[in-house]
Structure 1
Amino acid sequence: MTDDGTLILPLQGEIDILTVEQLRVELGDAVDRRPRRLVVDMAGVSFIDSTGLGALISAFQRARVNGTGFLLANPSTQVRQVLVLSGLMEVVPVTP
């Protein structure tokens, strides 16, 4: 965690039905640490499906209840398209 209370969670690979449970655990652990802000760095994510989107939404909701800022960062062009098409970018802040 950084000095300003930001926790950065880097993700890698494909997020799908086979890997989503691990993602849920990692996101849950990160939210439970109650950082001021949680940045989910998606630079290393090559693919995300609907189960992965669901895990992100759930973590975003839990973070909001805890008063934790939640931000998705650095999605690839492909992943960004999925975020746009799903409508997730209208709810969750995303940086370049």
Structure 2
Amino acid sequence: MEGQLGNHQVAVDLAAVSFIDSTIINLFIETRNEATAMDRSFVVASPSPPVRRVLGVTGVLEFLTGSG
């Protein structure tokens, strides 16, 4: 398709992050929803164990990472 810039993917590496709160989680959810609406990809990659736990407890781990 002419004018198409290609496949745009964003992965946020959280391997070195030890804490996130609801502000960041909401930002990630909004960003993923906006990316999806524009046929783009946004994922949280390599969440550290404490971040993985928070994402799991809040029920968004699979939604943001694509894994369980």
TM over 0.5: yes
Equivalent position of 2:47 in the other structure: 75
Could you tell me which runs of 5 or more consecutive residues in structure 1 were left unpaired when the two chains were aligned. Answer: 1-33
| Equivalent runs, 1:17-96 vs 2, <5 Å | 36-94=8-66
CA RMSD of aligned residues (A): 1.8
Cα contact 2:28–2:64 (8 A) shared by 1: no
Larger proportion of strand: 1
Instruction: Classify the secondary structure of the residue corresponding to 2:19.
Output: strand
Secondary structure of the residue aligned to 1:46 is coil
1:48-73 CA-partner distances (Å, limit 9, x unpaired): 01111011101111110111112111
Share of identical aligned residues, percent? Answer: 35
| Deviation digits for residues 22-77 of structure 1 (CA, Å, limit 9, x no counterpart) | xxxxxxxxxxxx86211111112110011110111011111101111121111110
Q: Partners of 2:61 and 2:15 in 1: how far apart?
A: 16
> More relative contact order in 1 or in 2 (CA 8 Å, sep 6+)?
2
2:14–2:48 CA contact under 8 A, matched in 1: yes
Q: TM-score if structure 2 supplies the norm length?
A: 0.78
TM normalised by structure 1 equals 0.57
In our comparison, the structure showing a higher alpha carbon Rg is 2
Give the distance between the partners of 1:51 and 1:79, measured in 2 at CA.
Answer: 13
